[in-house]
């Protein structure tokens, strides 16, 4: 996830498509849990999860996005890439909405593998990707989206990892087109 010079519009699909994902994720997560938000962008999901009563640790690779999220939510947000995030105690769930496609495809499986080390067994991980095959060109004015996936591609990526695909679906975003939404569970 590259460092952006200023807060950019979050590339993740908004808002109706993600509302269904929130509900499915929260049902698996349960209440009163500790959540990691990987690539929190400007903090919209971070704010929602805090309003739901969850304890949330958040990070973003962009210092500007982390600062914007921190201002919006009134909590510190770490500045780091996925592979730099460390924790002594594993999280109950991980939310990675629209952040992983900012990585080149060859970095997605290692990033998911690292996130698995931060997640409790049985914990959910939500991720979303522009739907399709191949690598779309970066878009101006937002994080460059480098990787798109379909469900078959996602299944290939997670096959060697300690994840199962609990639920996957494609939804159409008016601005960003079709997105693959994936709810994974750590084995």
Q: Per the domain annotation, does 48 fall within a domain?
A: yes
Q: Per the domain annotation, does 9 fall within a domain?
A: no
User: What are the helix (H) ranges across 74-122?
Assistant: 105-117
Query: What does the chain come to in residues?
Result: 187
Cβ atoms of residues 22 and 181 within 8 Å: no
Q: Per the domain annotation, does 1 fall within a domain?
A: no
* Count of domains forming the chain: 1
Q: Position of tokens 């084995």?
A: 187
pLDDT tens-place string over residues 91-139:
999 999 999 998 988 999 999 999 999 999 999 999 999 998 865 555 5
pLDDT tens-place string over residues 59-93:
999 999 999 999 999 999 999 999 999 999 999 99
Report the C-alpha gap between 171 and 180 in whole angstroms: 7
Q: What is the CATH number of the domain that holds 49?
A: 3.40.50.150
Q: Per the domain annotation, does 25 fall within a domain?
A: yes
Residues of the domain holding 130: 16-186
Report the C-alpha gap between 129 and 145 in whole angstroms: 9
């Amino acid at each position: 996830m590259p460092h952006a010079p200023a807060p950019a519009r979050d590339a993740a699909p908004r808002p109706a498509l993600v509302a269904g994902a929130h509900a499915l994720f929260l049902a698996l997560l349960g209440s009163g849990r500790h959540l990691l938000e990987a690539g929190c962008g400007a903090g919209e999901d971070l704010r929602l999860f805090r309003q739901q009563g969850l304890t949330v640790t958040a990070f973003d690779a962009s210092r500007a996005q982390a600062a914007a999220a921190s201002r919006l939510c009134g909590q510190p947000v770490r500045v780091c890439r996925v592979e730099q995030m460390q924790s002594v105690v594993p999280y109950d769930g991980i939310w990675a909405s629209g952040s992983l496609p900012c990585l080149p495809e060859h970095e997605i499986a290692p990033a998911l593998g690292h996130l698995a080390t931060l997640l409790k067994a049985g914990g959910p991980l939500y991720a979303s990707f522009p739907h399709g095959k191949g690598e779309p060109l970066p878009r101006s004015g937002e994080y460059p989206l480098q990787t798109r996936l379909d469900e078959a591609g996602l299944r290939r990526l997670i096959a060697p990892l300690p994840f199962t695909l609990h639920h996957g679906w494609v939804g159409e975003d008016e601005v960003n087109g079709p997105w693959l939404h994936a709810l994974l569970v750590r084995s």
